[in-house]
Amino acid sequence: MPITPATEANSSSNGTSPAILLELVDEQGSTIGTAEKLAAHQAPGQLHRAFSVFLFDEQGRLLLQRRAAGKYHSPGVWSNTCCGHPYPGESPFAAAARRTYEELGVSPSLLAEAGTVRYNHPDPASGLVEQEFNHLFVGMAQSSLRPDPEEVGETAFVSPGELASLQDSAVFSAWFTTVLDAARPAIRELTGSAGGW
């Protein structure tokens, strides 16, 4: 992983895991402070910066991931390609590219900003709350995936029809529909009107 001031401040040289800090933001997305990751997600939740990535293959199919069963938040559910939180001081774009590589072992061949969305989604299973100001990104995945099994349980490239069928039979993250709907204009621009998104 490239070392930047943000990633250096959030890495440990002595083998211990430091507390992961998130950027707290106001309703306009301006940084107002930091909070430890788990504390920020405990009810009622603290509004913090996040990102969501939607990558597509050359056939216009969306890359989904099923979150690993061992994750403390929303384990075992399907979600968009990648999502997470920038480190304090890290740009959302850099964080999105970093985490896509860390989780899926792929660097997007194209990654473009697709707007922001603010939401409040409680997770019924864990009691944690997603109070997020989310930066959206769309792009292309044109190389082989190498998922980290501690992060990702399964991956699938799906067409709009296959996604609809999967949503009828599988559990998705609480935020998935919100971020997908917010990103749709940019997704349509990327995949073309024939893609069906």
Gap between the Cα atoms of 158 and 143, Å rounded: 16
Does the active-site annotation cover 82?
Answer: no
Gap between the Cα atoms of 121 and 36, Å rounded: 19
Helix intervals (H) in 116-156: none
Active-site residue among 23, 82, 83, 103?
Answer: 83
Those residues with Cβ within 8 angstroms of residue 160's Cβ, 6 or more apart along the chain or in another chain: 195, 196, 197
Active-site residue among 90, 103, 130, 132?
Answer: 132
Gap between the Cα atoms of 104 and 63, Å rounded: 10
Query: With contact defined as beta carbons under 8 Å apart, do 24 and 46 qualify?
Result: yes
Residue bearing tokens 């690993």: 68
- Taking only Cα atoms into account, the Rg of the chain, rounded to an integer number of angstroms, comes to 16
User: Which residues are designated catalytic?
Assistant: 83, 132
